[in-house]
């Protein structure tokens, strides 16, 4: 339709996509076979691509999804696997009209399996160069830490020589905090975020996805984050909403993710209209596109249909997401 083509052409920036969450079942099975990885034999979901996709439609919660997410990424072994994964995402993103993508990855989930950090980074960087040359899209990497693991373990990984080198040489733009939210409040990671700030890294954290609005306050105050990933529970706290609007903190909202993981009952329950009315900056993102049934354009279309936005609303959303990006001002100017 005319609207689909309008939404497709909008100059998009994506700020909330986990590269491991772009692992489509077809690539998952292909890599499992090539790398001789045995998927759980007692779970019928791994019997076929269709069975796996059907299981993805029945996620009960964030933790139920994460169980499959961590098993899925166990097929990633070689540099080429990480390159193929990232390239697959960049191709989809570009065809959806993404001009600039800031992508998450979870080094701890690979290092713990004996994969070296350089294998991950070299693979992703090869795909990033190709994306820049062949698709004309710019990209940044955000190194995420797994909050269900002890903060001391996260800090030890943060301080690893090879990871520190990737911060110092600009390969990594910033840090994030992801995985299970309930029971793991942001302030546990205060030391790591303080060090990151001193090193000139940009800082974001998942907060207010399944967890309460208090976790958003906590992330802003204890971690000094510049963005909030998800942040939908902000709608429960009027005072905090005013502060977030006044400070210009951007939320990276993931509509289809929130529905699939049952953080909301339906798209219509998302506070999109409330955020627009309150002057809150937000971008619209895919989170884990291979698991949640859509890439970024699917998320734009779903929001359009649920909230009946007009051209002015969309222009505001796109301008905010360009402004909230962590690229240089020259690149921002090219996108506007
Ligand atoms: C995630 Cl949706 C979501 N929330 C928290 N952590 C994650 N890691 C990958 N996807
Ligand atoms: Zn996420």
CA gap 299, 152 in Å, rounded: 36
CA gap 61, 164 in Å, rounded: 34
- C-alpha distance from residue 231 to each of 110, 136, 290 (Å): 27, 30, 22
Residue nearest (by alpha carbon) to ligand 1 atom 3: 179
CATH of domain 2-335: 3.20.20.140
Say whether 194 is catalytic.
no
ipTM of the prediction? 0.98
Residue nearest (by alpha carbon) to ligand 1 atom 4: 179
- C-alpha distance from residue 88 to each of 130, 131, 298, 317 (Å): 11, 10, 16, 26
Which of 331, 313, 311, 314 has the alpha carbon at shortest distance from 322? 331
Give me ligand 2 centre to Cα 287, in Å: 5
Residue nearest (by alpha carbon) to ligand 1 atom 8: 179
Residue nearest (by alpha carbon) to ligand 1 atom 7: 179
DSSP label at 178?
A: E
Mean pLDDT of 35-44: 98
Ligand 1 mutation target, pool 69, 182, 206, most atoms within 8 A of CB = 206
18 is in an annotated binding site: yes
| pLDDT digits 0-9 by tens, 152-175 | 999 999 999 999 999 999 999 999
110 is in an annotated binding site: no
Query: Is 267 in contact with 303 (CB distance < 8 Å)?
Result: yes
Give me ligand 2 centre to Cα 18, in Å: 6
Burial class (CB in 10 A: 0-12, 13-18, 19+), 146: buried
Give me ligand 2 centre to Cα 2, in Å: 30
Query: Is 299 in contact with 285 (CB distance < 8 Å)?
Result: yes
Give me ligand 1 centre to Cα 311, in Å: 30
Query: Is 291 in contact with 68 (CB distance < 8 Å)?
Result: yes
288 is in an annotated binding site: yes
| pLDDT digits 0-9 by tens, 294-326 | 999 999 999 999 999 999 999 999 999 999 999
Residue 211 has pLDDT above 90, yes or no: yes
Residue 2 has pLDDT above 90, yes or no: no
Assign 329 a pLDDT band (cuts: 50, 70, 90).
Answer: very high
Q: What angle do CA 157, 125, 83 make, to 5 degrees?
A: 100
Q: What angle do CA 52, 109, 73 make, to 5 degrees?
A: 25
67 is in an annotated binding site: no
Mean pLDDT of the residues in the chain: 98
Strand partners, 100: 13, 138
CA gap 286, 268 in Å, rounded: 17
CA gap 254, 234 in Å, rounded: 14
CA gap 20, 17 in Å, rounded: 9
């Amino acid at each position: 339709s005319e609207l689909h083509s309008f939404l497709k052409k909008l100059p998009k920036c994506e700020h909330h996509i986990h590269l491991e969450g772009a692992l489509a079942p077809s690539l998952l099975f292909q890599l499992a076979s090539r790398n001789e990885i045995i998927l759980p034999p007692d779970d019928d979901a791994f019997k076929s691509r269709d069975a796996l996709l059907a299981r993805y439609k029945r996620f009960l919660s964030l933790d139920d999804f994460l169980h499959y997410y961590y098993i899925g990424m166990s097929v990633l072994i070689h540099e080429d696997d990480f390159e193929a994964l990232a390239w697959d995402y960049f191709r989809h993103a570009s065809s959806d009209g993404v001009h600039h993508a800031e992508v998450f990855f979870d080094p701890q989930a690979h290092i713990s399996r004996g994969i070296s950090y350089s294998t991950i980074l070299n693979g992703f960087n090869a795909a990033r160069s190709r994306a820049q040359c062949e698709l004309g899209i710019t990209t940044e990497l955000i190194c995420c830490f797994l909050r269900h693991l002890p903060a001391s373990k996260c800090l030890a990984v943060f301080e690893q020589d090879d990871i520190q080198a990737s911060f110092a040489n600009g390969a990594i733009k910033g840090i994030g905090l992801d995985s299970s939210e309930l029971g793991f409040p942001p302030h546990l990671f205060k030391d790591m975020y303080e060090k990151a700030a001193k090193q000139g890294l940009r800082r974001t954290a998942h907060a207010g996805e399944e967890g309460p609005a208090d976790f958003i306050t906590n992330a802003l105050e204890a971690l000094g984050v510049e963005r909030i990933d998800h942040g939908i529970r902000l709608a429960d706290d009027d005072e905090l909403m005013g502060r977030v609007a006044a400070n210009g903190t951007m939320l990276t909202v993931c509509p289809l993710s929130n529905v699939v993981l049952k953080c909301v009952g339906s798209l219509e329950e998302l506070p999109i209209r409330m955020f627009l009315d309150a002057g809150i900056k937000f971008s619209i993102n895919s989170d884990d596109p291979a698991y949640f049934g859509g890439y970024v354009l699917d998320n734009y279309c779903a929001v359009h249909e649920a909230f009946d936005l007009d051209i002015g609303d969309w222009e505001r959303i796109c301008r905010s997401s360009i402004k909230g990006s962590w690229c240089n001002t020259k690149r921002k100017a090219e996108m506007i």
